Amino acid sequence: MFAVSPSVSERRACQVLRQHRSTQRKLPRGRVDEDRLVADMIALARQYGSSGYRRIAALLRNAGWQVNDKRVERLWRREGLKVPMKQPKKGRLWLNDGSCVRLRPEHQDHVWSYDFVHCRTDDGKVFRTLNILDEFSRECLTIRVRRRLSSTDVIDALTDLFIIRGVPAFIRSDNGPEFIAVAVRDWISVVGAKAAYIEPGSPWENGYCESLNARFRDEMLNGEIFYSLREAQILIEQ
């Protein structure tokens, strides 16, 4: 509201400023559920510290809120929460021969990807996780936790998923020794899938799995102390 000079009427001032006169008489009021929504939003922002308002909005909808991204963004800015900068658009990836190497998932169980994540228990011993992801639905299909993971462990994990979900069209991975092992490559072809290896030194070609790994480390591994391998397996499974 603005101060009106005694010599200028409210009607005249609103006419000059092109404002409706009701803006000077009615204070804006939020919705009835806004306080509870803000409280839930802040709680999720504390739990998922690296997430922006879009992911928080999705989590709120999963919790039962009927809310769109624009409303969450408005409240997000009002509460002074961090809004991540807009990411630049990425072009397609091309090889020297002009062929495009980016394989985009078109439906569920079209492209799976998998990768390793390294961590340590409290005694300093290393353990590894094998993360397998459906790129279309962004669903983490399984996480295997072991001190050591070999090509046999990769085959065992994929076999269990094939029994439950069927065989995907493509399986994307990097060029690590566990993934390019002859046994893994031959087994993938036998079951009817195709291996889609990324170019060496190009982790962005496996971007879906890299994104999962980053959030998994930020939201889980960096926030927990694992005193034993069994404790790590139980907590990660939960």
pTM for this entry: 0.61
- 172 and 57 part of one domain: no
Domains held by the chain: number? 2
Q: How far apart are CA 237 and CA 83, in angstroms?
A: 31
> Sorting pLDDT into bands at 50, 70 and 90, what band is 96?
low
- 125 and 191 part of one domain: yes
pLDDT tens by residue, 157-214 = 999 999 988 899 888 887 777 666 778 888 888 888 888 777 666 666 677 888 888 8
What is the C-alpha end-to-end distance of the chain, expressed in Å? 52
pLDDT tens by residue, 130-152 = 999 998 999 999 999 999 988 88
Question: Does some domain include residue 170?
Answer: yes
- 67 and 134 part of one domain: no
- 116 and 224 part of one domain: yes
Question: Does some domain include residue 177?
Answer: yes
Secondary structure (3-state) at 130: strand
Domain range holding 70?
Answer: 10-78
Question: Does some domain include residue 70?
Answer: yes
- 225 and 118 part of one domain: yes
Q: What is the 3-state secondary structure (H, E, C) of 151-182?
A: HHHHHHHHHHHHHHHCCCCEEEECCCCCCCCH
Question: Does some domain include residue 209?
Answer: yes
Residue 48's H or E segment, with its range, is none
Angle at 75 between CA 71 and CA 81, to 5 degrees: 130
Question: Does some domain include residue 188?
Answer: yes
High-pLDDT (> 70) share of the chain, %: 83
Question: Does some domain include residue 22?
Answer: yes
What's 18's DSSP letter? Answer: T
Question: Does some domain include residue 45?
Answer: yes
**Token pair recorded at residue 46:** 């504390």
What mean pLDDT do residues 34-60 have?
Answer: 87
